[in-house]
Structure 1
C-alpha cells in the first residue's frame, strides 16, 4: 500500500525523523491560508507547492496542457494560491505515470528549507528496501540526490553506496556512522545524520515498510538533516498489525479493477495483453501466463481466485476481466485440489448467464477433484464455452483464439 508524501512524513515524525514541515490542502484558498501559517511559524517568504500523487518525477512532470510543474516555489500568498489553483484538479504527467498521468486531488504546501546561512546546503539520496538476493534489508544512498537520481544511477553507479542490514540484528551504530562518513558529512551534520539514519531504519522496521525512499535527504545551512520528500510503501500483508494505517489508503490512486478485485479477495494485477486468465494458485497462474505467451498470446492480467473459488468469485473475476477492451479470449485454468472443479464449472455457467452477451471465446481447463463432473456440466450447459483437459489442448485453443 503506497502512501502520499504528507502521510508518510507524519508517520516518520512519530519515529523522531526530522522532515520538511507542510500542510496538505485540497483547495486553492486553503493553500493561501497554509502559506500564511507557515510564514508565521518559520518566518520565511518562500514556500513550495507539491502535487500529491502516487508517482515520482513530480518536479519534472507537468500538468497536461500547461507548463505548470508538479512542484513549484512561490514567494507570496497570492502566488501560492495561483500555483495550487493550476495544479489542483489537473492531470500530472510524469516519467512514472506515463501519458495517462494522474489526477491531482491534493497539494502539500511546505516550508522552504533552502534558506541561506553559514554553511552550504546539500541534497543527498537514501532509500531502504529488501534485497531478496541476500535476504537482508539494504540501505542505498548517494551524495548526488535530487531530481536526477535516475541519471546518477545509470551514468555514475559508483556514486551509489549500499549498506546491508541483517533483519535479526538491526542497524548497528557503526553502520549509521559509515553512511554519514560516505556522504562526506562532518561535525554537527555528521551527528545529525547518524541520528536520522538510525531513526529512519527504526521507522522502516516498525511500520513494516516494503520500501522507504528519501529524495532529497537534505542538509540545511544550519547543519540539520531532514527528509524533504518521502515515498513510503507498506507491506499489505502486515496491515493486520497496523489497522490504523489502513485508513490512509487512497483508492483513487489505484487501478479501479484492482480495487474491485480486492473486495472479493481476488489477487488481481492488470497487464497489457490480450488473453484474460483466471487461475487458482499463484504458481499455476505464472505457468498459465507462460503458456499464453508460448501459444502466441499476451496475458492481460494475473488473477488468482484462491482455493475457495465459488460462483460469486468466479462471476466477479469474469466481470473484471471483461472490462478490459483488449481481451480477445479468456482462459480459465483450475486445478481442483482444495476447490472442487464442479463448483468452479457451475460458477462459470452462472456467471456466463448472469453477465450475458459475452462475445470473446472462453476456454476452460479443469483438472483434479470432480474434473469429469465439471466437464459434463460445461458441455451440457449449451453455452459457447470450450473445455480442455490437457494443458496442451488449452494452449492450442488460446493460440487459435488470438491468431
Structure 2
C-alpha cells in the first residue's frame, strides 16, 4: 500500500518536539496513537510545572551562558551533574553539535567541566534524528543533579475515550517504549479508571504502586507521587502526563526522571501562563504563521498543495494524491468555522511555497458554507495572481451557489466531480513523474 505511509507521515511530521503518546486500552493490550500537538514545552519547563505541584524531580537550574551553567553547577553541590541541551527534539544524547561536540547530554563530577561543555553547546546547532539537517540552535541548557536509578517503571495519566475520562496506565517495565512492552508482555500493562468526581483514591494509588513493583515504604511514597501527578494533570488541563521513567533510587527515593505533558488546546483561555511558555522559535515559520489564522498546516516534501477542511479529509486527500502518482506538498486543515479571510490567508501561504506546482481544494460543506470558500478562492486568485493550476472539488452546503461563483469568475479554475477525479486532475496538471 502506498497511501498509508503518507497519512502516517503527515501525522508524524506534526509532532514537533517529542510529544507523548495516547494509549487506548482494551482488556488485553494497549494501542498507541500519536496525537497532533501544538504546545511544545522544553524539558525544564515540564519539570518546573511538576516541581510546583510537589512532584519529586531532580534538583536543576537553567542557564543561557557558560558562566551561568558553571555557577549553577557549583550551586547544586551534587556528587554528579548532568548537563542537557534544551531543544524540542528527541535523541539529544546521540546528537552532534556543529562546534564538534558529540552528544547533547553529558555527565560529569567536575563543575568546571560543565562550563566548558556549555560553551560548546550554547549558540551552536545540535543535530539529532528528529531535527532538520541543519540542526537546531541551542539557546538554553539544563544543569541538574544526576541521580542513580536502581529500578525504572512507567506511569502515565491520560484521557481515554473508551473509559469516558482519565485513566492511569503503568508498567514495572519502564525506561523503554511502552508500545514494545504492550506488544510483547501485555500482562505487564496495568490500568486504573479514575472517577472524575472522586479523583485518584488511596486504594487505587496504592494498588498501582504495588503493580509497578514498589515495596515497603516506597509503595506509599510512589502512591503519593501518583496522586500529585493527577493533581498536576487537572491543574494544567492536560490530556496526558507521561513519566518514563518513574524511578527508584538506591537511597530509597521515588523520583520522576523524565516527563512529557500534553495539553488541551481548548483550555488555552484559562492556562495563559502555561501557553505563554510555548517556544515557537523551533517551529516551521509557515506552520507558525498558519496557526495565527487557526489553520493547521504541516509541510511535506511534494509539489501538490492540499487545501482541505477536516483532518480526516486532509489525510484522505494526501493519500489519494499519492495513490495517483503525485506527492502532497502539505497537510492543511481549515477546520469547521471557516471564514473568507482564512481562505485568502491559506492561499497566500500555499502560493508562497516555491515547491508548489498545483493546488487541490477539497471541501465538504457540512457546517461550512461552500459559497464562502468560493468567494475566498476567487479573491485570493485575483489578488495574489495565482500562477499554478488550481483544481477545486466542492460538495455540501450551498454548493450550487459556490459553483456558480467559480464558473462566472473567469478564472482558470478546474472543477472536479469527486475526490478521485480531483486527485487525477491535480496530478495530471503537472504531469506524473
TM bin, normalised by shorter chain, reads: 0.7 to 0.9
Q: 1:260 aligns with which of 284, 289, 306?
A: 289
Report how many aligned residue pairs link the two structures: 392
- Secondary structure of the corresponding residue to residue 248 of structure 1: coil
- Secondary structure of the corresponding residue to residue 189 of structure 2: strand
> 1:251, CA displacement in angstroms?
0.8
- Secondary structure of the corresponding residue to residue 159 of structure 2: strand
Taking the TM superposition and a 5 Å limit, the aligned residue runs for 1:102-117 are 102-114=136-148
Kept after mapping to 2: 8 A contact 1:138/1:162: no
Q: 1:318 aligns with which of 325, 347, 356?
A: 347
Q: 1:269 aligns with which of 276, 298, 301?
A: 298
Distance 1:240 1:264, change over 3 A: same
The whole-number CA distance in structure 2 between the counterparts of 1:400 and 1:198 is 58
Kept after mapping to 1: 8 A contact 2:156/2:243: yes
The whole-number CA distance in structure 1 between the counterparts of 2:225 and 2:268 is 25
Of residues 178-187 and 77-86 in structure 1, the stretch that sits farther from structure 2 once superposed is 178-187
The whole-number CA distance in structure 2 between the counterparts of 1:312 and 1:218 is 51
1:206 is aligned to: 235
Query: Is 1:174 equivalent to 2:200 in the alignment?
Result: no
Distance 1:342 1:185, change over 3 A: closer
The whole-number CA distance in structure 1 between the counterparts of 2:369 and 2:170 is 51
1:48 is aligned to: 82
Q: 2:309 aligns with which of 259, 280, 303?
A: 280
The whole-number CA distance in structure 2 between the counterparts of 1:340 and 1:136 is 34
Q: 1:18 aligns with which of 38, 46, 56?
A: 56
Query: Is 1:82 equivalent to 2:116 in the alignment?
Result: yes
Taking the TM superposition and a 5 Å limit, the aligned residue runs for 1:188-227 are 188-227=217-256
Q: Which runs of 5+ in 1 are unaligned?
A: 115-119
Distance 1:297 1:160, change over 3 A: farther
2:413 is aligned to: 385
Kept after mapping to 1: 8 A contact 2:83/2:107: yes
The whole-number CA distance in structure 2 between the counterparts of 1:27 and 1:216 is 29
* TM-score, with length taken from structure 2: 0.79
The whole-number CA distance in structure 1 between the counterparts of 2:422 and 2:100 is 49
2:66 is aligned to: 28
Kept after mapping to 1: 8 A contact 2:182/2:189: no
- Secondary structure of the corresponding residue to residue 317 of structure 1: helix
Distance 1:187 1:310, change over 3 A: closer
Deviations 1:173-215 (A, max 9, x none): 2232223223332222222111111211221233221222223
Distance 1:83 1:208, change over 3 A: same
Taking the TM superposition and a 5 Å limit, the aligned residue runs for 1:82-101 are 82-97=116-131, 99=133, 101=135
Q: Which runs of 5+ in 2 are unaligned?
A: 1-38
* TM-score, with length taken from structure 1: 0.84
Q: 1:62 aligns with which of 96, 118, 122?
A: 96
The whole-number CA distance in structure 1 between the counterparts of 2:306 and 2:335 is 13
Of residues 151-160 and 22-31 in structure 1, the stretch that sits farther from structure 2 once superposed is 151-160
Distance 1:71 1:156, change over 3 A: farther
Query: Is 1:161 equivalent to 2:192 in the alignment?
Result: no
